[in-house]
């Protein structure tokens, strides 16, 4: 057992200069190094995904309403989904405009873009 431990320590000690001498180059997969731009892209992506979900809910509410066949509770459910989906799209659009204005102000120094 002692010989195995001594052998492993010797192997590690012998290969350490080789490991230290190896030069590793990493490329940035994001393409950006400025954290403000990375954060802006993440927020814009999240707003895009939430907008897509709101659009799908809008379609789902419309399909519910159209296929209700006169059932008042299904019509009400479809209307409520449509109302909340429209409000969600309005909130998402407002958030997108606010985030774009804030990041333009931070990055470019003006709100006009």
Measured in whole angstroms, the distance separating CA 25 from the mean position of its chain's CA atoms is 27
Cβ pair 107, 36 in contact under 8 A:
yes
Q: Tens of pLDDT along 44-102?
A: 888 889 888 988 998 999 999 999 888 899 999 999 999 999 998 898 888 888 888 88
Query: Residue 45: which residues within 8 A CB-CB, separation 6 or more?
Result: none
CA distance 59 to 46: 20
Per-residue CA distances from 74 to 42, 70, 71, 108 (Å): 37, 8, 5, 50
Task: Name the pLDDT band for 18 (thresholds 50, 70, 90).
Answer: low
């Amino acid at each position: 057992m002692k010989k195995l431990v001594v052998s492993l320590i010797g192997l590690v000690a012998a290969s350490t200069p080789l490991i230290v001498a190896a030069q590793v180059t990493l490329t940035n997969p994001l393409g950006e190094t400025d954290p403000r731009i990375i954060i802006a892209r993440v927020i814009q992506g999240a707003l895009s995904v939430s907008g897509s979900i709101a659009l799908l809910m809008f379609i789902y509410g419309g399909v519910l309403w159209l296929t209700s066949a006169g059932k008042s509770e299904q019509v009400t459910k479809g209307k409520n989904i449509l109302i909340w989906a429209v409000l969600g799209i309005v909130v998402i659009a407002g958030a997108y405009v606010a985030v774009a204005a804030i990041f333009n102000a931070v990055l470019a120094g003006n709100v006009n873009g």
